[in-house]
Amino acid sequence: AQSVTQPDIHITVSEGASLELRCNYSYGATPYLFWYVQSPGQGLQLLLKYFSGDTLVQGIKGFEAEFKRSQSSFNLRKPSVHWSDAAEYFCAVGATGAAGNKLTFGGGTRVLVKP
Amino acid sequence: DAGVIQSPRHEVTEMGQEVTLRCKPISGHNSLFWYRQTMMRGLELLIYFNNNVPIDDSGMPEDRFSAKMPNASFSTLKIQPSEPRDSAVYFCASSRGQQNQPQHFGDGTRLSIL
């Protein structure tokens, strides 16, 4: 069975500083990986996804993530954080199965942005 | 295009009452997912459907919970009778059924059981 670990429950970063959120997955085959963001009172919004090919993927809102198979990681980065990036971020891995595309989510990392 | 639509956005009711949450997936999506989110347990998958058929309901907490998908454009999650510990935000998500397709989430229903 697949699993996802986000080691950092909370991260505080100053506005304008860089941000990196860690994600480690456990999966027996080639994973499908996703990062989502959840703003307060909202649903989850897809930031980016990785299926194959270039291991550095670009997403919306200036985010990028790098897939490293040797480390079973898919860390999310942003070079310069804006106050509007304060939210909770979820990493997810897609499962191959009989039907559909069930996702397994990590526990989330809450990001606080200091002025 | 319209996203996943959930109703109501907020529901407050007394314990013992029946609660019905509704979801309209994105047109053309054939997989639908119901999640529950709480501070204590995070995001939990309750059940998911593919082509209107329930595939995995192992996350449904108790027999008080039931879900249906009578057609490709509508699903319900029902709790009967409701209890205070059911208070949570319930999300519906949909996707195209292929394995590499992302899920698209609605804005959720915030449920409070008094």
Please report, in tens digits, the pLDDT of each residue of chain B (114 residues total): 689 999 999 999 999 999 999 999 999 999 999 999 998 988 999 999 999 999 989 999 889 999 999 999 999 999 999 999 999 999 999 998 776 788 999 999 999 999
**Which positions in chain B touch A102 (Cβ < 8 Å)?**
33, 45, 48, 55-56
> Residue A72 pLDDT > 80, yes or no?
yes
Neighbours of B105 (CB within 10 A): 24
* Three-state DSSP class for residue A61: helix
The candidate with the shortest Cα–Cα distance to A89, out of A79, A97, A78, A99, is: A78
Residue A1 CA to residue A66 CA, distance in Å, equals: 23
Are A49 and B102 a contacting pair at CB < 8 A?
yes
> Residue A29 pLDDT > 80, yes or no?
no
Which of the two residues, A52 and A114, has the higher pLDDT score?
A: A114
> Residue A84 pLDDT > 70, yes or no?
yes
pLDDT at A54: 87
Strands A44-50 and A32-38: antiparallel
Are A101 and B42 a contacting pair at CB < 8 A?
no
Task: Report the pLDDT averaged over residues A42-53.
Answer: 92
Distance from CA of B50 to the nearest CA of A (A): 6
> Residue A99 pLDDT > 70, yes or no?
no
Which of the two residues, A67 and A41, has the higher pLDDT score?
A: A67
**B41 inside 8 A of chain A by CB:** no
**A27 inside 8 A of chain B by CB:** no
pLDDT at A21: 98
Are A101 and B55 a contacting pair at CB < 8 A?
no
Neighbours of B53 (CB within 10 A): 9
Are B100 and A98 a contacting pair at CB < 8 A?
no
Whether B45 contacts B59, CB under 8 Å: yes
Neighbours of A89 (CB within 10 A): 24
Task: Report the pLDDT averaged over residues A60-70.
Answer: 95
> Residue A1 pLDDT > 90, yes or no?
no
* Three-state DSSP class for residue A70: helix
pLDDT at A98: 54
The pair phi, psi for residue A61, each rounded to 5°, is: 60, 25
pLDDT at A27: 81
pLDDT at A31: 84
> Residue A82 pLDDT > 60, yes or no?
yes
